[in-house]
Amino acid sequence: MTSLMSVKLSDLVVKRRGSTILGPIDLELGSEGFTVVLGPNGAGKTTLLKVLHGVERVTRGSVDWSIPAEAAREAQSYVFQNPIMLRRTVAQNLAYPLKVHGVDKATVEILIREWAERIGLADAMDRPAPRLSGGEKQKLALGRALIRKPKVLFLDEPCANLDGRATRDIEDLLLQASKDGTKIIMTTHDLGQCRRLASDVVFLLNGKVHEVGVAESFMASPRTPEARSFLNGDILV
């Protein structure tokens, strides 16, 4: 599967009940790196992520991947802020996406053991997934998303409800996935997490993109007054 998974949003608008939730947005994201969509609560970050993933109805405009839409969807994974667990064991949760895509049984067994080890759940293979702790559920959801080696991984505030140790474990997994070639697009309002992870930043406010740039430059000297206020900890309305 090709790794050229850049995407372009053109004149994109999302409306609900007559109100504009997102847009208009013109945005291009490359096929590599760790993109953080940054902004306060209510900025439209989750909606933008869902638009990119193709699960949010667009009122106007287009989302164009550099490969055919069906192939692009097949090459993506999505992890929610509150992870969805199948009512099955840890091993069965990891195996599910592989079986859906017709991976042979021997390969499935190898991969679920490898990924259970990676996410720190090797001793919990037979444990029912719904009984895991919050951090364990998030790690399992991430492992389930990464086990097929997606070209693009979307994450919606994956560490918002986690303690420091679980957050560190999740971030380590994400950095390794990025090094292994998965393009990551993640929402957060956590400035510290953005500094630790991002290679580039999309700053969103009131449904509009106010600034896009290299993470280091953005964090050090944002160009827009809105971004400067956000980094200063001001309340934006």
Average of per-residue pLDDT values in the chain: 93
Q: Does 140 map to a domain?
A: no
| 90 contact partners, CB below 8 Å, separation of at least 6 | 116, 121, 124, 125, 126, 127, 129, 132, 140
Q: Does 137 map to a domain?
A: no
What is the rounded average pLDDT of the residues 179-207? 95
Distance of alpha carbon 184 from alpha carbon 145, whole angstroms: 12
User: What's the pLDDT at 4?
Assistant: 58
Q: Does 29 map to a domain?
A: yes
What is this structure's pTM?
0.92
User: What are the φ and ψ backbone dihedral angles of 128, each rounded to 5 degrees?
Assistant: -60, 130
User: What's the pLDDT at 69?
Assistant: 87
Q: Is the pLDDT of residue 225 over 60?
A: yes
Quick one: 66 and 154 in the same domain? yes
3-class DSSP string for the chain: CCCCCCEEEEEEEEEECCEEEEEEEEEEECCCCEEEEECCCCCCHHHHHHHHHCCCCCCEEEEEECCCHHHHHHCEEEECCCCCCCCCEHHHHHHHHHHHCCCCHHHHHHHHHHHHHHCCCHHHCCCEHHHCCHHHHHHHHHHHHHCCCCCEEEEECCCCCCCHHHHHHHHHHHHHHHHCCCEEEEEECCHHHHHHHCCEEEEEECCEEEEEEEHHHHHHCCCCHHHHHHHCCCCCC
Quick one: 80 and 165 in the same domain? yes
Q: Is the pLDDT of residue 1 over 50?
A: no
User: What's the pLDDT at 224?
Assistant: 95
Q: Does 143 map to a domain?
A: no
User: What's the pLDDT at 64?
Assistant: 95
- pLDDT per position as a tens digit, 36-93: 999 998 999 999 999 999 999 999 999 999 999 889 999 999 998 888 899 999 999 9
Quick one: 186 and 196 in the same domain? yes
* Parent domain of 166: 7-84+150-231
How many CB atoms lie under 10 A from the CB of residue 42? 15
Quick one: 98 and 214 in the same domain? no
User: What's the pLDDT at 149?
Assistant: 93
Q: What is the domain count for the chain?
A: 2
Quick one: 62 and 18 in the same domain? yes
Cβ(212)–Cβ(27) below 8 Å: yes
Distances (CA, A) of 136 to 113, 121, 156, 158, 161: 16, 8, 17, 12, 12
What is the rounded average pLDDT of the residues 96-118? 95
> Among 101, 131, 161, which residue terminates a domain?
131
What is the rounded average pLDDT of the residues 102-117? 95
User: What's the pLDDT at 170?
Assistant: 93
Quick one: 45 and 67 in the same domain? yes
- pLDDT per position as a tens digit, 120-167: 999 999 999 999 999 999 999 999 999 999 999 999 999 988 889 989
Quick one: 109 and 39 in the same domain? no
Distance of alpha carbon 115 from alpha carbon 176, whole angstroms: 13
What is the rounded average pLDDT of the residues 183-208? 95
| 76 contact partners, CB below 8 Å, separation of at least 6 | 53, 150, 151, 152, 153, 154
Q: Is the pLDDT of residue 2 over 60?
A: no
C-alpha dihedral, 79 to 125 to 93 to 5, nearest 10°: 50
Q: Is the pLDDT of residue 176 over 80?
A: yes
Cβ(215)–Cβ(200) below 8 Å: yes
CATH number for the domain spanning 73: value is 3.40.50.300
Quick one: 76 and 160 in the same domain? yes
Quick one: 94 and 116 in the same domain? yes
